Amino acid sequence: MGVMAFFWASQTFGLQIGSAGVYFKNSSNSLLESLVIEDVWFNSTNKAWITVRNVGTIDVRIVAIYANSTLQSSTNPAYGSSGILVGVGRAVTIQVTTGFTWTSPQFVYISVATSRGTVVRGYWSTSN
């Protein structure tokens, strides 16, 4: 009985330790990830252009953009199956077509999320 308990415990703890290693590796990668929303432009209808710069030390993939906490699925470039790649030190401008009609002045809450879970957010004004 004691031998069976020993093997069960060693397998269980071995799996947990292995899982912890994967968790900490992914967590350390997310610490190397850093984005900045540099600018947001709004036109008079339902489009916004969001410029995001990677100021971290590893490449990132943008997988979601939210406007006023609503996921925006119509982007150019498109998210694709693996997200929008932003290399280290590079910036990308993403055109977002929303279901909103902008009024001026109006504050819009913009959030940008990466594949590792990093989220940058802020309020932007639609006024010129």
Sequence ranges of the domains in the chain: 1-31, 35-125
What pLDDT was estimated at residue 24? 56
Using DSSP bridges, classify how beta strands 60-67 and 75-76 pair: parallel, antiparallel or unpaired: unpaired
Question: What is the reported pLDDT for 16?
Answer: 58
67 touches 98 (CB < 8 A): yes
Residue in this structure with the two tokens 């990677």, named with its chain if needed? 54
Residue 60: both structure tokens together: 């990132």
Share of residues in the chain with pLDDT > 90 (%): 59
35-125: CATH number: 2.60.40.1890
Closest CA to 119 of 27, 25, 34, 24: 34
The overall average pLDDT reported for the chain is 85
Residue 71 has pLDDT above 80, yes or no: yes
Q: Higher confidence at residue 112 or residue 5?
A: 112
The model's pLDDT over 11-51, given as tens digits with 9 standing for 90+, comes to 666 655 655 565 555 556 667 999 999 999 998 788 999 99
Residue type for 65, please? I
Per-residue pLDDT at 109 exceeds 80: yes
Helix, strand, or coil (residue 2): helix
The pTM score is 0.74
Residue with tokens 């819009």: 108
